[in-house]
Structure 1
Amino acid sequence: MRLMTLLPMAADGVGPSYTCLSLLSGMAATGLSGPCYVARARDRPADVTVLPTVPRMLNMVPYRHVRGPAARAAERRYLSDLRRGDIAYLWPGASLAAFEAARALDLPVVVDGINTRMADARRILDAAYAAEGLTPAHGITDDRIRDEDDKLALTTHFFAPSPGVEAALATSPLSEEAVISCSYGFDPDRAGAKNGGARRRTRPIFLFVGRSSIRKGTHQLLRAWERAGVEGELWIAGAIEPVIRTLCAPLLERPDVRCLGFVSDVASLYSQADVFVLPSLEEGDPLVTLEAASCGLPVIASPMGAGRIGSETGCVAMIDPGEPDSIANQLAHFGRSAEMRAEWGGRAHAAATAYTWKKVAKRRAEALDRRLGCASARRA
Structure 2
Amino acid sequence: MDGTSSAESMRLESLLTLPFTGRGVSYSCDRVVSAMRAPGVSPHVTLPYVMDGEPSVPFHAILPRQIGRPGRRISPGLVLGLTENAFLRRLPRGDSDTVAYIWSDTSPGFARSLRERGTVVVREKVNCSKALARRVLDDAYRRIGHAPQHGISDEALAEENERLALADAIFCPSECVAQSLVELGVPEEKLLRTSYGFDPDRFASDARLLPATDGVTFVFVGTICVRKGAHLILKAWARSGIKGRLVLAGPLEPAVETVAAQELARPDVLRLPFVNDVAALYKSADVFVLPSLEEGDPLVTREAAFCGLPSLVSPMGAGQVVQDGQQGYILDPYAEDDWVEALRSMAAQPGLRQRMGAAAHERSLDFTWSKVGVGRRRTLTNFLSGRSSPEPRNTRPWITSMAAVGA
Same fold flag (TM > 0.5): yes
> What SS does the aligned partner of 2:366 have?
helix
User: What do the CA deviations read for 1:45-67 (whole angstroms, capped 9, x no partner)?
Assistant: 44x11110113676887963575
User: What do the CA deviations read for 1:185-227 (whole angstroms, capped 9, x no partner)?
Assistant: 1111224488xxxxx9861110001111111111110111011
User: What do the CA deviations read for 1:151-187 (whole angstroms, capped 9, x no partner)?
Assistant: 1111111111111111111232522110011110111
Among candidates 54, 65, 74, match of residue 44 of structure 1:
54
1:179 aligned partner: 191
Assess, with a 3 A threshold, how the Cα gap between structure 1 residues 311 and 97 changes in structure 2: closer, same or farther.
farther
Distance 2:68 2:154 in 1: 34
Is contact 1:299–1:316 with CA below 8 Å preserved after alignment?
yes
Matched, 1:89 2:101: yes
Distance 1:154 1:271 in 2: 44
Residue 116 of structure 1 aligns to which amino acid in structure 2?
C
Assess, with a 3 A threshold, how the Cα gap between structure 1 residues 313 and 162 changes in structure 2: closer, same or farther.
farther
Residue 363 of structure 1 aligns to which amino acid in structure 2?
G
Matched, 1:282 2:294: yes
Distance 2:91 2:188 in 1: 27
Residue 42 of structure 2 aligns to which amino acid in structure 1?
S
How far is the alpha carbon of 1:103 from its aligned partner?
1.4
Is contact 1:3–1:34 with CA below 8 Å preserved after alignment?
yes
Distance 1:30 1:226 in 2: 54
How far is the alpha carbon of 1:373 from its aligned partner?
3.2
Distance 1:153 1:222 in 2: 40
Structure 1's unaligned 5+ residue stretches are 195-199, 375-380
Is contact 1:279–1:301 with CA below 8 Å preserved after alignment?
yes
Matched, 1:294 2:306: yes
Assess, with a 3 A threshold, how the Cα gap between structure 1 residues 95 and 311 changes in structure 2: closer, same or farther.
farther
2:282 aligned partner: 270
1:197 aligned partner: none
Matched, 1:124 2:133: no
Distance 1:274 1:81 in 2: 48
1:115 aligned partner: 127
Distance 2:32 2:324 in 1: 20
Is contact 1:6–1:94 with CA below 8 Å preserved after alignment?
no
Assess, with a 3 A threshold, how the Cα gap between structure 1 residues 133 and 355 changes in structure 2: closer, same or farther.
same
Among candidates 26, 38, 42, match of residue 33 of structure 1:
42
Among candidates 169, 194, 198, match of residue 181 of structure 2:
169
User: What do the CA deviations read for 1:225-280 (whole angstroms, capped 9, x no partner)?
Assistant: 01111111000101111111111111111110001122222122111111110000
> What SS does the aligned partner of 1:184 have?
coil
Is contact 1:39–1:67 with CA below 8 Å preserved after alignment?
no
2:7 aligned partner: none
Is contact 1:24–1:33 with CA below 8 Å preserved after alignment?
no
Distance 1:326 1:30 in 2: 50
User: What do the CA deviations read for 1:86-113 (whole angstroms, capped 9, x no partner)?
Assistant: 1111111322322212211222211111
1:321 aligned partner: 333
Distance 1:136 1:56 in 2: 33
Assess, with a 3 A threshold, how the Cα gap between structure 1 residues 246 and 184 changes in structure 2: closer, same or farther.
same
Structure 2's unaligned 5+ residue stretches are 1-9, 207-211, 387-407
Name which of structure 1's ranges 83-92 and 65-74 shifts more when overlaid on structure 2: 65-74
2:87 aligned partner: 78
Distance 1:29 1:66 in 2: 38
User: What do the CA deviations read for 1:69-93 (whole angstroms, capped 9, x no partner)?
Assistant: 3332121111112122211111113
1:377 aligned partner: none
Is contact 1:110–1:158 with CA below 8 Å preserved after alignment?
yes
Among candidates 228, 235, 238, match of residue 250 of structure 2:
238
> What SS does the aligned partner of 2:17 have?
strand
Distance 1:31 1:352 in 2: 29
Residue 322 of structure 2 aligns to which amino acid in structure 1?
G
Distance 1:355 1:282 in 2: 21
Residue 25 of structure 1 aligns to which amino acid in structure 2?
S
> What SS does the aligned partner of 2:295 have?
coil
Q: Could you say what the CA RMSD is over the residues aligned between the two structures, in angstroms? A: 2.2
1:373 aligned partner: 385
How far is the alpha carbon of 1:132 from its aligned partner?
1.8
2:18 aligned partner: 9
TM-score by length of 1: 0.91
Distance 1:62 1:337 in 2: 54
How far is the alpha carbon of 1:330 from its aligned partner?
1.0
1:18 aligned partner: 27
TM-score by length of 2: 0.85
Identity over aligned residues, as a percent?
A: 39
Distance 1:318 1:202 in 2: 27
> What SS does the aligned partner of 1:2 have?
strand
User: What do the CA deviations read for 1:13-66 (whole angstroms, capped 9, x no partner)?
Assistant: 0111100000011001464223210011244344x1111011367688796357
Is contact 1:220–1:323 with CA below 8 Å preserved after alignment?
no
Distance 2:323 2:79 in 1: 39
> What SS does the aligned partner of 1:366 have?
helix
Residue 224 of structure 1 aligns to which amino acid in structure 2?
A
2:216 aligned partner: 204
1:69 aligned partner: 78
Assess, with a 3 A threshold, how the Cα gap between structure 1 residues 160 and 213 changes in structure 2: closer, same or farther.
same
> What SS does the aligned partner of 1:321 have?
coil
